Amino acid sequence: MAFKVAIIGRPNVGKSTLFNRLVGRRIALVDDTPGVTRDRRLHAARLQDLRFDVIDTAGLEDAAAPTLEGRMRAQTETAIDEADVVVFMIDARAGVAPDDRTFAEVVRRRGKPVVLVANKTDVRAAEAGVLEAWSLGLGEPVAISAEHGHGMAELRDAIAAAAPQAGEEDEEPREGATGEGEDIDPDAEPPAYDTTRPVRIAVVGRPNAGKSTLINTLIGEERLLTGPEAGITRDSIAVEWSWRGRAVRLFDTAGMRRKARVQEKLEKLSVGETLRAVRFAEVVIVVLDATMPFDKQDLQIADLVIREGRAPVIVFNKWDLIEDRERMLAELREKTERLLPQVRGLKAVPISAETGRGLDRMMEAALATHEVWNRRVPTGPLNRWLAAATAQHPPPAVAGRRLKVKYMTQVKTRPPGFVLSCSRPEAMPQSYVRYLVNGLRESFDIFGVPIRVTLRTSE
């Protein structure tokens, strides 16, 4: 039996173009009469050697309500539920639109395997859009051009990997740093926080924020190059050293330490470099230039780190250049909370990479955040807290029926991930989930790291 694929996304991102490419142009053209309802929405499709059925969501769109919201519901509820794999498409040229986020949220909640596709990458301006696509929290975007047929090999691999019984699975050991978090047995006794394994840290930030300076100062003369790590591309190197007796493995890119290349350094953010660093780290230090903090790239990078589920630490570098430090620090910390509200209590530390000031505080923040990232909340206290939280502020009624929250379990660490069983997960408003996440943070002291909550139906 062929598996079924649904192509989902807001209008005009290029779904029909990809659909036509997959099923062959003729079928779609023949059937393309507005108002014609088709029973048979499945079309045999081929992508290189891979064969599957595509659900024609264009038909679903036509039949639905006049509003985008309505069309979206029709698409998602019907197509996603029927599909084995969801191809979620955005227009990389346009970047991530608010509607994309709404769609992504619905897709994510249904819990089906998703392949995130950033289309229209034949257009030069699309690179930023591909990076932004990470912020949807649906994993690595596959860059394609549906119109020109670029990226089809990558799309094939991504769909094959997401498909049921995908055949060969080449799972590499990633020590929980997968963005998915690490599965745990909620009934087992929580193990003590392991301080013997090296903490894997990456330094990211836009060009000229001071990343190379920071790395050089940190590792100083004691640095010990351990050579290319398995799974890391040639230009990435891990540097190992220890800080206050704790083993630290720092992911570095060769370019950072090669001073000769400074002059030819691109003024542009290197997306690939950032992604690689984030992928292989547990703690990610996001370097901001305190003399020009929080530009768009800074936010994109921080958002990427958070969406990937890493333990983030923000540093305000070049603090030696700041005059009114006390006022500035208050201002920057306020901005951090306001611009990155997904993670309350983000650690934000002023440093001077050049003089070395603040680096001890930065390392303390990195290790403290790493500990919280590994935090486990036992099921008993968790549910006592949940009972109190829902009694104090009960879930709302939707369509005349009150939502019921039953039970909560922590199923993942690195970062902490919880499953909440409730009636009608699809109707649960985000605001209520936020209320619970905030409560979790306060009650169990889980600040400064992403928290994930998955909703499940309670039987």
Q: What phi and psi values does residue 85 have, to the nearest 5 degrees?
A: -135, 135
User: Is residue 75 at the binding interface for ligand GDP, with CB under 6 A as the rule?
Assistant: no
320 contacts: CB under 8 Å, gap ≥ 6:
352, 354, 355, 357
Q: Which two tokens stand for residue 304?
A: 């990427």
C-alpha gyration radius of the chain: 23
Strand extents, DSSP E, 351-395:
none
| Spatial CB neighbours of 197, under 8 Å, sequence gap ≥ 6 | 175, 247
Q: Is 202 known to sit in a ligand binding site?
A: no
With the C-alpha atoms ordered 440, 181, 288, 200, is the resulting torsion angle positive or negative? positive
- Any contact of residue 332 with ligand GDP (CB under 6 A)? no
Report the residue from 75, 213, 236, 369 that binds ligand GDP according to the rule CB under 6 A: 213
Residue of 22, 131, 209, 420 that binds ligand GDP (CB under 6 A): 209
Out of 318, 347, 370, 375, point to the residue binding ligand GDP (CB under 6 A): 318
Q: Which is nearer to ligand GDP, 204 or 405 (CB)?
A: 204
Stretch that binds ligand GDP, among 15-23, 67-75, 133-141, 162-170 (CB under 6 A): 15-23
- Residues 198 and 247: their CA atoms lie apart, in Å, by 4
**Residue with Cβ nearer ligand GDP (15 or 43):** 15
104 binds ligand GDP (CB under 6 A): no
DSSP state of 167: S
Residue 122 or 442 with smaller CB distance to ligand GDP: 122
The correct pick among 5, 17, 53, 413 for binding ligand GDP (CB under 6 A) is: 17
Total residue length of the chain: 459
Decide if residue 191 touches ligand GDP (CB under 6 A). no
Scan for tokens 């963005």, then name that residue: 179
Residue 254 labeled ligand binder: yes
Whether 184 contacts 419, CB under 8 Å: no
Contact present, 251 and 280 (Cβ < 8 Å): yes
When asked if residue 349 is in the footprint of ligand GDP (CB under 6 A), the reply is no
Q: How far is CA 419 from the centre of its chain?
A: 18
Binding segment toward ligand GDP, per CB under 6 A, in 22-30, 94-102, 145-153, 430-438 = 145-153
For residues 323 and 459, which CB has a smaller minimum distance to ligand GDP in the complex?
Answer: 323
Binding of residue 78 to ligand GDP (CB under 6 A):
no
Does 211 sit near ligand GDP (CB under 6 A)? Answer: yes
Residue 20 assigned ligand-binding role: no
**Piece of 6-14, 23-31, 79-87, 293-301 that binds ligand GDP (CB under 6 A):** 6-14
Query: Which residues have CB under 8 Å from 439's CB, separation 6+?
Result: 385, 389
Pairing of strands 246-253, 85-91: unpaired
Is residue 354 involved in binding ligand GDP (CB under 6 A)?
A: yes
Q: Which residue's CB is nearer to ligand GDP, number 22 or number 177?
A: 22
What are the residue ranges of helices labelled H in 147-250? 152-162, 211-219
Residue with the two structure tokens 């003089």:
355
Tell me: is residue 16 an annotated ligand-binding position: yes
The binder of ligand GDP chosen from 122, 154, 157, 240 (CB under 6 A): 122
358 vs 335: CA distance, rounded Å: 20
321 binding ligand GDP? (CB under 6 A)? yes
Choose which of 90, 128, 146, 377 interacts with ligand GDP (CB under 6 A).
146
- To the question of whether residue 110 is assigned a binding role by annotation, the answer is no
Write out the H or E segment, with its range, that includes residue 410: strand 405-413
212 contributes a contact to ligand GDP by CB under 6 A:
yes
Q: Which stretch binds ligand GDP (CB under 6 A): 141-149, 219-227, 236-244, 393-401?
A: 141-149
In the structure encoding, which two tokens stand for residue 234, read together? Answer: 């040639």
Interface of this chain with ligand GDP, residues 256 to 275, rule: CB under 6 A: 256
Q: Are 362 and 315 in contact (CB under 8 A)?
A: yes
Residue ranges for the binding site for GTP? Answer: 9-16, 56-60, 119-122, 205-212, 252-256, 317-320
Q: Give the interface with ligand GDP as residue ranges (CB under 6 A).
A: 9, 11-17, 119-120, 122-123, 145-148, 205, 207-213, 256, 317-318, 320-321, 352-354
